[in-house]
Amino acid sequence: MTKPTLLLHICCAPCATYVVRTLREWFEVVGYFCNPNIHPEEEYALRLREMRRYAEEIGLRMFVAEYEVDRWYEAIKGTEQEPEGGKRCAICYRFRLERTARLARERGIFHFATTLTVSPHKKAAVINPIGRALAEQTGATFYEADFKKRDGFKISCQMSREAGLYRQNYCGCIFSKLERERRIKDKGEEVTFPLPFLGAPQ
């Protein structure tokens, strides 16, 4: 039986591992790397390069969004000082999911989803309602999930290690980078966010 196609917003290669494998049980998955939140551009290029490499390895077709940094900063304006997980993040999720829903509609893909909830720092209770609302607007179906459950996060770490993937040590935007650096300086200890650093790509 032919599987329905699903457009998957991918935040980074480590998060894609387990989520792609899981969704492939029911869907023909097509990836969408849409992350203009990532700062600086070199880090964006690194995460994208790593995701391209992994996509090729697992035979995943993938679209790549424009790096719309200015629009992203415009969207989150006024929430720069928000802590991790606050209002800025909700806007950031919506920014990326809006584009995913739009591309799905343009390509005639009926289902869309995101890798975001595999991270223990990302709340499904915030992300799923955003996806649901966008689905209502576009007529598509958002695949609601909390991928971190059932050891999803743990398995994604293991799969990433096996694939030798680069894993970042901050979420993505400049504010998350600064927050992490500040915490390290204040406490004098390493802060694991969002996942442990496993080394640079070969």
SS3 sequence of 110-147: CEEEECHHHCCCCCHHHHHHHHHHHHHHHCCEECCCCC
Burial zone of 179 (CB within 10 Å; 0-12 exposed, 13-18 middle, 19+ buried): middle
Among 27, 32, 142, 175, binds ligand SF4 (CB under 6 A): 175
| Residue (85 or 139) nearer to ligand SF4, CB | 85
Binding part of the chain for ligand SF4, among 58-66, 82-90, 126-134, 142-150 by CB under 6 A, reads: 82-90
Among 9, 47, 88, 111, binds ligand SF4 (CB under 6 A): 88
CA angle in degrees (0–180, nearest 5) for 79-82-86: 100
User: What is the length of the chain?
Assistant: 202
Site for ligand SF4 in 20-49 (CB under 6 A): 37
Q: And the tokens for 7?
A: 């457009």
Among 13, 34, 92, 101, binds ligand SF4 (CB under 6 A): 92
Site for ligand SF4 in 97-136 (CB under 6 A): none
Q: Shortest Cβ distance from residue 12 to ligand SF4 (Å)?
A: 11
Q: Taking Cα atoms as reference points, which of 37, 42, 46, 65 lies closest to residue 171?
A: 37
| 3-state SS, residue 150 | coil
What distance in Å separates the CA atoms of residue 65 and residue 128, rounded to the nearest whole number? 21
Binding part of the chain for ligand SF4, among 16-24, 58-66, 104-112, 169-177 by CB under 6 A, reads: 169-177
| Residue (94 or 111) nearer to ligand SF4, CB | 94
Total number of residues that touch ligand SF4 (CB under 6 A): 10
Q: Which residues contact 55 (CB under 8 A, 6 or more apart)?
A: 16, 31, 61, 62
The structure tokens 């690194």 sit at 46
Asked if 84 touches ligand SF4 (CB under 6 A), the answer is: yes
Q: Shortest Cβ distance from residue 197 to ligand SF4 (Å)?
A: 16
Among 100, 156, 172, 180, binds ligand SF4 (CB under 6 A): 172
Q: Cα 163 to the chain's mean position, in Å? A: 18
Among 100, 160, 168, 176, binds ligand SF4 (CB under 6 A): 176
| Residue (88 or 99) nearer to ligand SF4, CB | 88
Residues in the site for ligand SF4, rule: CB under 6 A?
A: 37, 84, 88-89, 92, 171-173, 175-176
